[in-house]
Amino acid sequence: MKKKDENQFRSKAGIIAVVFLTASNSIFFKLSTVPAMVFVSCRFLVCALVFLAAAMLSRCQRKEQAAPLSPKTAICLFATGFVFSLGAFAYFVALKETALSSVLILNSSNAIFVVCFSAVFLRERLNPWVVLSIGVTLVGCTIVFLDKAGGANSLKGNLFALLCAVCAAIYMTSMKHFAHVEVPIKLCIVYSGSFFFALTAAMIQGHSFTAYADGQPFAIYEYAWMLGAAILAVCIPQSVINWALRYVKATFAGNVALLEPIIGIVYGCLIWGDTLSMNQIFGGMLAVGGLFLYGLSDKKE
């Protein structure tokens, strides 16, 4: 019993800690000055290689023969990578065009889109609490979306932030549908697909992976931002969460994830001196409150 309690404590502490890492994703994106598709291509490549190593290690450690992956499943996961790469591009653009706080709040609404997509495509039932949570979150996101605190291009940036949320929801719905596939293998295929599509887009646009359009080479710290966005904001959190979910409920991880936009906003205030408008504060509270209601609905089912 003592060992179980210790594992639960470590799992909860680990999930709380990695939220601070995932929230740092916006920092690396915002600090980078390289073209968007170059940044996300390098990030996806690092993630794909890390998850490939994890998948190979997982297969070596398994005593029984793992079920083979069907070509249809592999193709669907690879195609999911296209949507994921589009979402990463939208996130990058949104951070350049509007306020960081607006991007984080609007992007956090992806959980509500997941619910809607699951109801339509996976035929999952919606209870009254879920419907209420969707309504509250959408009202909050609408208030933030219409706010112009991000400047002249805030509407464009907010649109890209919403596109990012929709893409993230499609990605998570796909992960849910293919829950039977081992996590490292699933992530390796998705991130490989994301890298392929992002690399193709970067090459079509004529971007260099070592220099800007004027021929000036990338500073070494640009590659540090790419590595940070891959290792600190993706690989470590994914590994910790997948381990922690053996000992704690998914609803705990979901509720803790509500802290991510709040922590990201705090980062923005501390690093760039960002300030929040009343619309952002009120809309953000409604959006996060709606997501919290959604978390409560899991316990009521």
Digit-coded pLDDT (tens) for 74-110 = 999 999 999 999 999 999 999 989 888 899 999 988 8
Distance CA 196, CA 182 (A): 21
Q: Is residue 149 part of a domain?
A: yes
The amino acid that residue 220 corresponds to is I
Kindly give the interhelix angle for 183-204 and 71-97, rounded to the nearest 10 degrees.
60
The domain of 105 spans: 16-300
Domain count, the chain: 1
Q: Is residue 295 part of a domain?
A: yes
For residues 200 and 116, the answer to whether their CB atoms sit within 8 Å is no
List the structure tokens of 7. 């594992």
Q: Higher model confidence: residue 60 or residue 187? A: 187
Q: Is residue 8 part of a domain?
A: no
3-state secondary structure of 31: helix
pTM over 0.75: yes
Burial class of 18 by CB neighbour count within 10 A (0 to 12, 13 to 18, 19+): buried
* Among 171, 169, 89, 101, CA closest to 141: 101
Q: Is residue 87 part of a domain?
A: yes
For residues 274 and 265, the answer to whether their CB atoms sit within 8 Å is yes
Contacts 24+ apart (CB under 8 A), 1-4: 4/247
What confidence tier does 115 reach under pLDDT thresholds 50, 70, 90?
Answer: confident
Q: Is residue 199 part of a domain?
A: yes
Q: Is residue 2 part of a domain?
A: no
List the structure tokens of 114. 């997941």
DSSP string for residues in 39-79: HHHHHHHHHHHHHHHHHHHHHHH-SSPPPPPPHHHHHHHHH
Q: Is residue 252 part of a domain?
A: yes
Q: Is residue 55 part of a domain?
A: yes
245: DSSP letter: T
Residues pairing with 217 in the sheet? 211
pLDDT in tens, 41-84: 999 999 999 999 998 888 787 766 667 789 999 999 999 999 99
